[in-house]
Structure 1
Amino acid sequence: MSEYNNKENNALIRREPWYSHPTLLWLLKSTAINLILPFFNGVMLGFGEILANELIFKYGWFGRSFPQLGLNNRVPPSATVEYRKTVNAAIKREEQQQKDLLKLD
């Protein structure tokens, strides 16, 4: 009884051990905190990064707009300078051929 009684102010204090033997509920809680929550945190961070990237490239960053690359210009953004020149020349050549065909008709 002496461990439950505080002599200075006669208040009852129950001292619990800082560690108890693991139970199934304890195991589920620790698994959820250590494995499941970081997974959802990573998923939310990933979606936030994708959303921010899309917003920046669509609406610009502080009024600065980025050139649209990729499918719209038919040249991938990771292309080298030589590849871009070759593709752009081929596109211009095809457009010129189509114009010439329209003139003949």
Structure 2
Amino acid sequence: MVLCFDHREKGNGEVANEQVFIPGILPKIPGWIYYLFGKPIQTHGRGDHILKDREKAVELYLQIKSEVEHSMAYLLKKWEEDPYRSIFNRVVYQVFHSPHRDIPGFKPD
């Protein structure tokens, strides 16, 4: 049995319009990789008791989960706003500007 989860059905905007990619049959056009280093989560001083206290471990887990979800939502928003996310727009920019000039990216808020 094969399970397939398609998150495009629940999504909106450009994510919902993304086409299905079948590896080996259709070439995938390269795109940007968006990443964000979030703020550090302080674990120093919490010691081993956090591993033994289920409630504290769940609290830390939910804090980490919340930070990761916030970062992902932020990056998806920036991805949708990025005028240079398609390879066509990046190539056009490079043609009309110096090849040594970087394509503009977004500045973190």
- Which of the two has higher C-alpha Rg? 1
Alignment TM-score > 0.5, same fold: no
Considering Cα pairs closer than 8 Å and 6+ residues apart, tell me whether 1 or 2 has the greater RCO: 2
Greater share of residues in helix: 1
